[in-house]
Chain A
Amino acid sequence: MSAWTKVGAARSADASPARRPNVGLIGAVFFIVSESMFFLGLFLAYFYLRALSKTWPPPDTPPLSTVLPTLNTGVLLISTLFMAWAERGIARGDARRLQIGTGVAAVLGLIFLTIQAFEIADLGFAPHSSAYGSAFFFLMGFHVVRVFGGVVFMVIILARALIGQFSARRRAAVQACALYWYFLAGVWLVVFWVLYWLK
């Protein structure tokens, strides 16, 4: 408690509201920069290995079906719409919209994870099959891990929304959560394109 409340109190007492920047949101932006670089590292590895391989994917790899991931892309995009709807809602002070929107977005996130689990189980190759398999699983897997983290974040936001912690003036955590969720949807679009469509 102590120093934290003191700092917060001191900040709100000294800085005029107009000058008080949205610290949490700026922090989320910088965090997302580091997350982007992590995925960039994985993508670089993917393309490096791809460039060094004679055949990509290896000849005995079963062909990928795009049915489930296309469906899943829809699920994730609709989820971001609900998140945006929730965020707009609380910006106008509508706590109910925040609760419903975040709740639906989180459930859609769980559906995404479930479908991803089926997709990964049915791929027909494994991380240790080839360099292709390794790079494929890393991109899919680390995105799944992040989406799980995003769902946990949304559940926390939902719980805090239900006990009435957010308002039009106090919604930095909602904004940070929404921003991270849009980021994950954006990463998925690139992952989907690179793994399933790029020839």
Chain B
Amino acid sequence: MASVSIPARTEYLRHGLVSWLATVDHKRIGIMYLASTFVFFLLSGLMALVIRLQLTAPGLQIVNQDLYNQLFTMHGTGMIFLFTIPCLVGFANYFLPLQIGARDVAFPRLNALSLWLLIFAGVVMEGGFLLGILGLLPGGASNAAWTAYVPLSNKQFSPQIGMDIWLLGVVLLGISSTLGAVNFLVTAYTMRAQGMTIWRIPMFVWAMIVTAAMVLIATPVLTAALAMLIADRNFATQFFNTANARLWQHMFWFYSHPAVYIMILPAMGIVSEILPVFARKPLFGLKAVVVSTILIGVLGFTTWVHHMFVSGVDPIVERFFMLTTMIIAVPTGVKMFNWLFTMLGGSLNLKTPLLMCLGFLSTFVIGGLTGVIQALIPLDMQLHNTYWVVAHFHYVLFGGSVFGIFAGFYYWLPKITGRLLDDKLGKLHFALMWVGFNLTFFPMHFLGLMGMPRRIATYTADRGWELGNLIATIGAFMVAVSVLIFMVNFVRSLRHGARAGNDPWEGNTLEWTVTSPPPEHNFDTLPTVESERPARDLRLAASNPTVPAH
């Protein structure tokens, strides 16, 4: 290898606050993504607790109706735009270059821009919310839900500046995530290690490739819609007159339905990484997993009208979207079988990352099935806008994405910090979160079937909704306690956790061939890949010197 002269660096660029502010290292940027989005997760989680407290029993007035509307708006916005999407991007920032054997992403400075745009947008949105609920903004914060349907979100019905702050925040987040998508696509396309042909690309990287492609195609359409709404509100343009209100729904869901897959595909990628390692088997049907990932990405753009069955769309169009919605369950089902068969006959290593994956499988399958049920137009007309829908998408986005994210934390934090998380506390976290999650959201199916509408601030005692809501609130606080346990576990691990070593799990992918945490340049020499499990190849070669090293 040719020697490279690297300019000597001043001390302040290596350590301390300035080094973090000025960094373009994908690992530090990844850590800042994970840390900032986790803060947004906690904020949105607190909002969820207030919402649950309010609904514990009929007629409670813990917060008034106005505040309640602002709370669920920011809860949903925060969880989706400020936590789930960018948190998974944080994992990609840290691990995509490592997994493909690269030293950084293709455009490191652009990467830093994505991060700071995200943080700026988060501060703008959470700041706007805080000022709104403190009464410092006339009219309060945005209260038109995360969907911001017109005419509710137009100047007439949402005159407050809080609505504009919210819209501006979403525009900034869109730019951040589009730039990130360009970066990941170019990185995965051009910077893979020698020998990493398409069927040797790690599953998480595949998931990020498809996710980034979806972001690239879907997000600009939302940005266009947001620009139109901002202009309607501030420059009296007439895009979303009451007569044209459905235009917003089309453009919003053209982004926001693919956004569901933008949130679930990377989590599926994490599960596809962890299951083979903890079952000590190769991934069952690798090519089927890859192809179904791509199919989900393509079909994800053909289903958006299923959010609009009660909006008065042409019945023929509705039937088309009913069918596509049912078809997209097929590649998802393929993946389910691949994961189950990966575990079948494997020697399961029942550590927390695997348990979180089992949590993912068991809850996501319910979310997927209720999705198919909801796709039926006549049924959807009944279920629309009820708690059934709330139950469904929490089973997808919490049961799926969030369990996937925590699986990722337990699997990869040892690589980031160099310390293992405590497995007993991890199992306690898992058990409490799984039980709490199901207690919270399973009763909501029944509440929805009994007719309880979404987004109501309170209800009367004569509806028979008391028991379901009480159980849901108890479950929500169990989830909160489980997240506290995770945080204690994490902080403890930084000082007292066992040393992780390079490869605590006997992993398959290249991040496990370097130290924990990896050196700034990742690899001393760029690796060469000869199978889809390069770290395993190296491990076997090292333990059995007679076999030629791959």
Q: Which residues of A contact B (CB under 8 A)?
A: 1-7, 9-11, 13-15, 19, 21, 23, 26-27, 30-31, 33-35, 37-38, 40-42, 44-45, 48-49, 52, 127-128, 130-131, 133-135, 137-138, 142
Contact = CB atoms under 8 A, between A and B. Distances in A.
A38 B231 contact: no
Contact of A23 (B109, B190, B225, B235): B190
Contacts of B250: 44, 48
Main secondary structure of the interface of A (DSSP, over half): helix
B244 A131 contact: yes
B236 interface: yes
B42 interface: no
Contacts of B178: 34
Main secondary structure of the interface of B (DSSP, over half): helix
Given A26-B186, A128-B236, A45 B24 contact: no
A131 B217 contact: no
Contacts of A21: 189-190
A35 B220 contact: yes
B104 interface: yes
A3 B247 contact: no
Interface of B: 1-2, 4-7, 9, 13, 23-25, 103-104, 106-109, 178, 181-183, 185-186, 189-191, 194, 216-225, 227-228, 231-232, 235-239, 241, 243-244, 247, 250-251, 254, 520-521, 525-526
Contacts of B244: 48-49, 52, 131
Contacts, number: 139
A48 B247 CA distance: 7
Given A5-B7, A30-B185, A48-B244, A40 B221 contact: yes
A173 to B, nearest CB: 13
B217 A45 contact: no
A35 B182 CA distance: 12
A36 B24 CA distance: 29
A1 B186 CA distance: 21
Contacts of B4: 6, 9-10, 13
Among B5, B186, B189: residue with most chain A CB under 10 A: B186
Contacts of B220: 34-35, 37-38, 40-41
Given A42-B224, A45-B251, A134-B239, A13 B106 contact: no
Given A30-B216, A38-B221, A42-B224, A4 B236 contact: no
B271 to A, nearest CB: 27
A44 B251 CA distance: 9
Contacts of A133: 237-238
Lowest 3 A-B CB distances belong to which pairs?
A41-B224, A38-B220, A134-B237
A15 B102 CA distance: 11
A6 B6 contact: yes
Contact of A49 (B182, B239, B520): B239
Contacts of B223: 38, 41
B526 to A, nearest CB: 5
Nearest to A9: B4
B104 A130 contact: no
Contacts of A137: 237
Contact of B25 (A3, A15, A30): A3
Contact of A34 (B24, B108, B219, B521): B219
A45 B186 CA distance: 30
Contact of A128 (B217, B228, B237, B254): B237
B251 A131 contact: no
A14 to B, nearest CB: 5
A1 B104 CA distance: 14
